[in-house]
Structure 1
Amino acid sequence: MKRAAIFSILFSLALANAETFTLNTRDRVRDADGDWAVRQQKVLWDAKATAVIVCDMWDLHHCKNA
């Protein structure tokens, strides 16, 4: 949990000085032939209008080997 908090603080500081937040996305879409193709896009967001929420859900899990 401490590591996630430190990461989120450092990440927030990095975004505070940036003008844009760049995110590379990738998904699968069907082409004209019906086959699946990978689509990659670069998305630019206004860093001052962007929030990052870190949700650590794995502190306690019913399966110890998960």
Structure 2
Amino acid sequence: MIGRIIGALVGREIDRRDGQGGIKGAAIGALSVGALRRMGPLGLLLGGGYVAKKAYDRRREARGQR
């Protein structure tokens, strides 16, 4: 279940970076779930780290600290 949540968040981040909504982020998020699951705990760490880094960067930028 955690892997699916992380996959959805990864897809959302890719969609935001792209700037266009659509199915691209959802498809990449769905594919990332399979990859994360095959990698086991390391995959969950990598996916979670990616999402956390993007959230941290977005918050830092919103505060004007760059």
TM-score by length of 2: 0.31
Decide which structure has greater helix share: 2
Decide which structure has greater strand share: 1
